[in-house]
Amino acid sequence: MTAKTESATIKVEEAAALLGIGRQTAYDLAAQGKLPGALRLGRRIVVSKKALDRFLESSDGSDKHGCSNDNSE
């Protein structure tokens, strides 16, 4: 009997979908070091689920780059 283990990372495309941004924007942010949890493994880029979850659940509504989640203008 083999237990299926869940990966600790997701693809950049999956992270983009969770964040509501485009695939290319996610890759651009990862290249700039601004995509939360993005890790380069050789030629691949993966995103840490834990780091992305922490970013999405941040209590103050903004990330360390000053991006606000508040859509009121």
pLDDT tens track, the chain, 73 positions: 666 788 999 999 999 999 999 999 999 999 999 999 999 999 999 999 999 999 999 855 554 555 544 444 4
For residues 66 and 64, what is the distance between their CA atoms, to the nearest angstrom? Answer: 5
The reply to whether 68 falls in a domain is: no
The reply to whether 41 falls in a domain is: yes
For residues 33 and 6, what is the distance between their CA atoms, to the nearest angstrom? Answer: 25
Give Cα 50 to chain centroid, integer Å: 9
The reply to whether 73 falls in a domain is: no
The reply to whether 4 falls in a domain is: no
Domains in the chain: how many in total? 1
Domain that holds residue 41: 9-56
Q: Classify the phi-psi angles of 67: left when phi > 0, otherwise alpha if psi is within -120 to 50, otherwise beta.
A: beta
0.75 surpassed by pTM = no
The reply to whether 48 falls in a domain is: yes
